[in-house]
């Protein structure tokens, strides 16, 4: 094992070999949780604000104009985020995704990306740095982000019809064309392939499925359908609003036959398919009907420095106070923080029905706070 790594004991080579057989990219020093899932992906929410009010994430009636969002002084600084990432890269993290709220609203976000691109894993590899955005500011920022070292981008776009789009984003002024322009410019900037995430709701945008398919076939972009999830406590989630992935696949296949892609990549949330006629790749994220907790290698960091080990967590661990404790070295922090993951046993989506029907679940954290 590489001597520069802190003397954190990792008695799990047997467990690691299982993942190596599954060609899961686990570094020798990856920390494993109670279900032997390696920590290799950190999603970082850089602020809790957004310029959209998507009812499935940030309903306007809750996040109204007088809602008090986090003050700038309470946000982790870029240096603090970079230090956390450096330490987590020693615990196995290889993939970073910047999220929010809307990450492009965070001032000088490109400066953070520049710092993160300098971090190397113990095996000397650069981190895979991506960003998820609602696309409203992408046209202005795409080239700056690419120049700063961003590797990939995911854009949320739930409809092409302006009326349906505004229902899905809870806002009137911004049009789907603004997002499409941003996607085109991101393409020109070289942020390819661009993933396009579409949350599908029975009563609002299911009629948009085929027009989205037509729009992104043969473009190199990867359209992904997301089952509507019971994230947080404010989106009045209703199972009747969910369109199961299999139903969407059957619907698309009537017009465009698909082929499932065999993908053993652990930690990937989307099931990958492709069009039989060469129209490109398409994906499905099915947290409701096909939970993927057994391969979940993701931790989430909130803008004020709390670590959450599941999207449906109710409690987070405060990294910031540790970070600001002058007596703790990076080595100490790595030891303390590795224990958070080692104790992890989250699998909410696998037991959603039980939790929702038979127990009185704690208030879940809001997705807009920890990034989807």
| 352, 227 contact by CB (below 8 A) | no
Q: Which is nearer to ligand SF4, 208 or 366 (CB)?
A: 366
CB of 369 to ligand SF4, least distance (A): 14
CB of 319 to ligand SF4, least distance (A): 18
HEC string of 60-108 equals CCCCCCCCCCCCHHHCCCHHHHHHHHHHHHCCCCCEEEEECCCHHHCCC
Q: Which long-range contacts (CB under 8 A, 24 or more apart) does 82-85 make?
A: 82/112, 82/115, 82/116, 82/119, 83/323, 83/330, 84/301, 84/305, 84/319, 84/323, 85/42, 85/44, 85/116, 85/119, 85/127
Q: Which is nearer to ligand SF4, 31 or 148 (CB)?
A: 31
Q: Which is nearer to ligand SF4, 346 or 366 (CB)?
A: 346
Q: Which is nearer to ligand SF4, 106 or 298 (CB)?
A: 298
DSSP of 247-296: HHHHHHHTTS-EEE-----TT--SEEEEETTS--EEEEE-TTTS--GGG-
Q: Which is nearer to ligand SF4, 53 or 342 (CB)?
A: 342
Binding site for ligand SF4 (CB under 6 A): 292-293, 296, 298, 310-312, 346-349
Spatial CA neighbour of 287 closest among 230, 370, 328: 230
Spatial distance between the Cα atoms of 160 and 168, rounded to a whole number of angstroms: 11
CB of 313 to ligand SF4, least distance (A): 8
CB of 83 to ligand SF4, least distance (A): 24
Q: Which is nearer to ligand SF4, 333 or 370 (CB)?
A: 370
CB of 295 to ligand SF4, least distance (A): 8
Pairing mode of beta strands 271-275, 41-45: unpaired
Distances (CA, A) of 313 to 20, 124, 288, 351: 29, 32, 16, 13
CB of 348 to ligand SF4, least distance (A): 4
CB of 163 to ligand SF4, least distance (A): 32
Q: Which is nearer to ligand SF4, 45 or 349 (CB)?
A: 349
Which sign does the torsion angle of CA 187, 189, 191, 197 carry? negative
Q: Which is nearer to ligand SF4, 225 or 292 (CB)?
A: 292
User: Which residue's entry shows tokens 């992408």?
Assistant: 138
CB of 310 to ligand SF4, least distance (A): 3
Query: What's phi and psi for 195, nearest 5 deg?
Result: -90, 135
CB of 109 to ligand SF4, least distance (A): 24
Q: Which is nearer to ligand SF4, 268 or 320 (CB)?
A: 268
Q: Torsion-angle region of residue 81: left (phi > 0), alpha (psi -120 to 50) or beta?
A: alpha
């Amino acid at each position: 094992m590489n001597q520069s790594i802190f003397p954190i004991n990792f008695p799990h080579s047997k467990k690691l070999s299982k993942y190596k057989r599954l060609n899961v990219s686990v570094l020798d020093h990856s920390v494993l949780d109670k279900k032997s899932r390696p920590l290799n992906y950190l999603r970082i929410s850089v602020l809790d604000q957004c310029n959209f009010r998507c009812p499935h994430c940030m309903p306007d009636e809750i996040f109204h104009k007088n809602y008090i969002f986090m003050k700038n002084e309470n946000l982790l600084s870029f240096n603090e985020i970079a230090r956390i990432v450096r330490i987590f890269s020693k615990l196995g993290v290889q993939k970073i995704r910047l999220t929010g709220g809307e990450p492009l609203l965070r001032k000088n976000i490109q400066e953070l990306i520049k710092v993160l691109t300098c971090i190397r894993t113990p095996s000397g590899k650069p981190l895979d740095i991506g960003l998820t955005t609602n696309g409203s500011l992408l046209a202005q920022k795409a080239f700056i982000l690419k120049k700063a070292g961003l590797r990939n981008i995911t854009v949320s776009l739930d409809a092409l019809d302006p009326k349906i789009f505004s229902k899905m984003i809870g806002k009137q002024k911004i049009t789907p064309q603004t997002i499409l322009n941003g996607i085109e410019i991101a393409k020109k900037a070289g942020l390819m392939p661009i993933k396009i995430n579409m949350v599908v709701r029975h009563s609002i945008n299911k009629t948009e499925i085929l027009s989205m398919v037509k729009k992104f076939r043969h473009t190199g972009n990867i359209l992904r359908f997301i089952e509507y999830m019971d994230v947080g406590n404010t989106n009045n989630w209703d199972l009747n609003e969910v369109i199961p992935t299999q139903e969407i696949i059957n619907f698309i296949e009537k017009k465009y036959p698909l082929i499932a892609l065999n993908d053993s990549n652990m930690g990937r949330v989307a099931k990958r398919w492709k069009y039989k006629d060469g129209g490109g790749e398409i994906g499905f994220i099915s947290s409701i009907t096909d939970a993927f907790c057994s391969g979940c290698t993701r931790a989430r960091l909130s803008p004020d420095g709390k670590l959450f080990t599941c999207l449906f967590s109710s409690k987070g661990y405060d990294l910031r106070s540790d970070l600001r404790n002058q007596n703790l070295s990076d080595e100490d922090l790595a030891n303390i923080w590795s224990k958070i993951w080692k104790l992890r046993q989250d699998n909410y989506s696998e037991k959603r029905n039980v939790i929702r029907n038979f127990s009185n679940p704690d208030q879940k954290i809001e997705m807009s706070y920890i990034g989807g």
